[in-house]
Amino acid sequence: MLYLTLFISAFISATLLPSSSEVVMVAMMTQGKVNLLLLWLAATLGNVLGSCVNYWLGTQVLRFKDKSWFPVSEQGLEKAQKQFNKYGVYSLLFAWLPIVGDPLTVIGGIFKVRFSTFLLLVTLGKGARYLAVIALTLGVEKLI
């Protein structure tokens, strides 16, 4: 149940909803004995799957671009495409960042990044972030 709680927190954190799975992870680590590998896997998997939801939403959003209520103009979409192309698909490695990370995963879907590439880059970035949280919480020397 402990790992499921972290999985759900990480999933929600990866969507556009506000949440902080890092706080949940650190609290679990400080409250008792946990399997660090399972903790890392639950957090990473939940967060990556949440990003996959964002990606899917991105693939669907352009269906509505001709609607009067659509929040982004054609020029805005073109500007976003240029920015995304400028920094490249590798910007998805930064999907773990607060504020900009979740929209990056939506943009990946909007601009039809190959899903396997999306999944690899997002998993690497998010997995590294949770590993860093574990290392900083325990102290790097305890991991080695």
* pLDDT the model gives residue 79: 83
Residue 118 above 80 pLDDT?
yes
24 token code pair: 């949940």
Among 61-65, 90-94, 132-136, whose mean pLDDT is lowest?
61-65
CB of 80 closer than 8 Å to CB of 72: yes
**What pTM value is reported for the model?**
0.86
Q: How far apart are CA 105 and CA 52, in angstroms?
A: 8
Residue 140 above 70 pLDDT?
no
DSSP letters of 67-132?
STT-SS-HHHHHHHHHHHHHH-GGGGGGTTSTTTHHHHHHHHHHTT--HHHHHHHHHHHHHHHHHH
- Give percent above pLDDT 90 in the chain: 59
